[in-house]
Amino acid sequence: MSTRRAVVLLSAGFLVSLFLPPIYALDNSGKIKSDLDKASSNLVGTWEIVMTKEPGKPYRSGYKGRPFVTKGANAFTLIMEYRKDGTFRRLSRIGGEETEQKGRWKLSGHELRHRCNGSKADEVVYVRFDEPNRYTSIEVYEESPNPGLFVQFSRIK
């Protein structure tokens, strides 16, 4: 009799577990999980270039003396959009032409890696957060003695 009762209880427990959702799933049903660390979550958003600096020279209002203009016939800007899912969108505007690139990003310490869709190599940029809505990036040209281009971005969204 006790063996029969144990089999019935185990069978009932198995059937209940199949038809009822697990308790831990009910607790997190309204929350979106994010596996981003603090630095990566600071980068999520839309950023626009505001200043550039060539090595050894002071910051300027625009690259090669040209001011950054977001839209219109005289547009000259770069906008980066970083999403929580690890994807990015890069929008560059020069005059009336827009170029859009998409890909994946990953921030590890100060090293930010971009991999554009269709590309086999990562672009490596080093990032320093100057304040919550501003960061400076340093592009490094690995096969050159030139340390690259320093760029400041400001959050627009």
pLDDT at 79: 92
Q: What is the pLDDT along the chain (157 residues), one digit of tens a residue?
A: 566 665 555 554 544 454 544 444 444 433 333 456 777 888 999 999 988 876 666 666 666 667 788 887 888 889 999 999 999 999 998 888 889 999 999 999 899 999 999 999 898 888 999 888 999 888 765 565 556 678 889 999 7
Which pTM does this prediction carry?
A: 0.69
Radius of gyration in angstroms for the set of CA atoms belonging to the chain, rounded to a whole number: 25
Q: Which residues of 9-37 are buried (b: 16+ CB within 10 A; e: fewer)?
A: eeeeeeeeeeeeeeeeeeeeeeeeeeeee
Helical H segments across the chain, by residue range: 2-19, 23-27, 38-43
Q: What are the sequence ranges of the domains in the chain?
A: 38-155
- E strands, the chain, where? 45-53, 76-82, 87-94, 97-108, 111-116, 123-131, 134-139, 150-155
Looking at domain 38-155, does it have CATH number 2.40.128.280? Answer: yes
